[in-house]
Amino acid sequence: MATLFTSELEEGMVTLTDTYSNSGKLIVPKDTVLTKSIIQMLSGNDVVFVDISDIVEPIVESQENDLSSALDTEKIKEKPQYKKFVHRYEKSISEMGNHLNDIVYKNAPIDVDMMLQNTMTTMKALNDSPLSIFTMLSTMKNYDDSTFNHSLNVALICNIFADWLNLSEDDKKLITACGLFHDVGKLLIPDAILKKPGRLTKDEFDIIKTHPVKGYQLLQKNKLDPHIQYAALMHHEKCDGSGYPIGLKGNQIDWCAQIVTIADIYEAMTAKRVYRGPISPFKVINMFEEDGLKKYNPKYLLTFLEHVVNSYMNCKVRLSNGEEGDIVFINKVRLSKPMVKTKNNFIDLSKQTDINIDSIL
C-alpha cells in the first residue's frame, strides 16, 4: 500500500480505497485500474492524495482504451478473465442443474456444501479480474432465463452483497446458499408456464405463485437450515405486506429472505427474459428508488444500490437522447441519476430529468 500525491500517479496503478471529491461525490471506486483519463479526472477534481494498493508497470495505450470502455461487450468477451469466468460459470450451471434435477425428480438428498463449493469456485474465477460480477453477468445475455442460471446469478450477487453488509463468513455462506435454493420450487412448475413468451393468464400466474410454498416444502423435507427454507418461502414477500404467498410485513420476513429478495429482483429485471430483453441497471435502480423503501428493508436496499452504482463508475453508457458518454460522478441523493461526460459536455442527470441512461455499452 502507498498513499501518493495525484501528481505521482501512473497508469496501471490500482486504487486501494474509494476516492471522493471535496463535495463528497464518488469519483473512483476502489480496485480501479488507473488510466490517463482517470488520473486527469482526479487532478481536475482537486484530489490531493490517492491510496494505491499496488504499484505496477504502466499499461500501454491500447489497454487504456480497452479498460476505459469496460462494458463494451465485444471487448469484454475477448478478455482472458471473461473466458475463464464463462468456462467456470457454464460448468457450474451444468453441475447445479444435474443436482437440482436429481433432488426434484429422483428424491436425491441435497448436498449444500457441494453447491456452495461450486458457487465459490465460480466467484474465484473473478479474483484476478478488474471486471465486477455485474459487468460479467450483463454481457452474458445469450443465456436463457432458466431457473438454474437465475439461481446461480442470485447466489453470486448474494455472496458479494454479504461483503457489502460486512456479514460474517458463516452468514456469507448462509446467504449464498439462500440465493442458490430460493427458486427451487420453480422446478415443480410446468415449463410451458415458466417459459411462456406472452402474457400469463390469471390461472397461470396463480400456478407460478405456488413456487415459494413448493420450494419451502421441498427444503423442509430435506431438513435444510431454516433460513434457507424461509428464503424460498418468503422471497416474494414485501415489507409493506403487498407480497405473496402470505402477505407478511417488515420483521415478519426472515432477514435472509429480505436480502435474497433484493438480489432476486435486481437479477431478474436486468437479465434477458423470454418475453423481453434486459432492462438497464439504472432503470432498475430508479424503480427501487421510486417505491423501494416501502417494499424492502432500507438497511439492505440502500447498501445494495450504492454499491451496485459504484461498480459502474467510469463505464460507458448510452443516454435516452442518443448521446454516449462515461459515468464520472455518482449522485448519492439520487443514485440512478449520475453525471455523464459526453464528447462535448457534462450532463447531470439529476438536473436534466428528461434524460436517462438507456443502456450500458
Q: What is the pLDDT of residue 28?
A: 81
Query: What beta strand segments (E) does the chain contain?
Result: 2-5, 14-15, 19-20, 26-28, 49-54, 316-319, 324-329, 339-342, 346-348, 357-360
Q: What is the pLDDT of residue 68?
A: 35
Grid coordinates in use for 48?
A: 490531493
- Assign 93 to helix, strand or coil: helix
Enclosing H/E stretch for 65: helix 61-68
Q: What is the pLDDT of residue 161?
A: 96
Q: Rounded distance, CA 162 to CA 345, Å? A: 38
- Assign 80 to helix, strand or coil: helix
Q: Rounded distance, CA 139 to CA 351, Å? A: 30
Tally of CA atoms within 13 A in the half-sphere of 59 that contains its CB: 17
Look at residues 114, 119, 112 and name the one whose alpha carbon lies nearest to residue 88.
119
Long-range contact pairs involving 133-136 (C-beta distance under 8 Å, separation at least 24): 133/157, 133/160, 134/281, 134/308, 134/311, 134/312, 135/70, 135/71, 135/76, 135/311, 135/315, 136/76, 136/82, 136/85, 136/89
Q: Rounded distance, CA 255 to CA 259, Å? A: 7
Q: What is the pLDDT of residue 127?
A: 66
Q: What is the pLDDT of residue 353?
A: 86
Q: Rounded distance, CA 125 to CA 87, Å? A: 9
Q: What does 251-305 look like in DSSP terms, one character per residue?
A: GGS-HHHHHHHHHHHHHHHHS-BTTB-PPPHHHHHHHHHHHHHHHS-HHHHHHHH
Residue that has been written with the C-alpha cell 446461480 in this structure? 152
Grid coordinates in use for 237?
A: 414477500
Look at residues 212, 214, 81 and name the one whose alpha carbon lies nearest to residue 136.
81
Q: Is the dihedral of CA 45, 46, 49, 54 positive or negative?
A: positive
Q: Rounded distance, CA 6 to CA 40, Å? A: 9
Q: Rounded distance, CA 274 to CA 192, Å? A: 12
Please list the pLDDT of the chain residue by residue as tens digits (361 residues). Answer: 566 667 677 777 878 777 876 556 677 877 777 777 788 777 766 676 677 764 443 333 333 333 333 345 566 677 777 788 888 888 988 898 899 889 988 889 999 999 999 999 988 877 655 567 777 777 765 555 578 889 999 999 999 999 999 999 999 999 999 999 999 999 999 988 888 877 778 899 899 999 999 999 999 999 999 999 999 999 999 999 999 999 999 999 999 999 999 999 999 888 766 556 678 889 889 889 987 888 999 999 999 999 999 888 888 899 999 999 999 999 888 999 999 999 889 999 999 989 989 888 7
Grid coordinates in use for 268?
A: 431478474
Residue that has been written with the C-alpha cell 505521482 in this structure? 8
Beta bridge partners of 273: 276
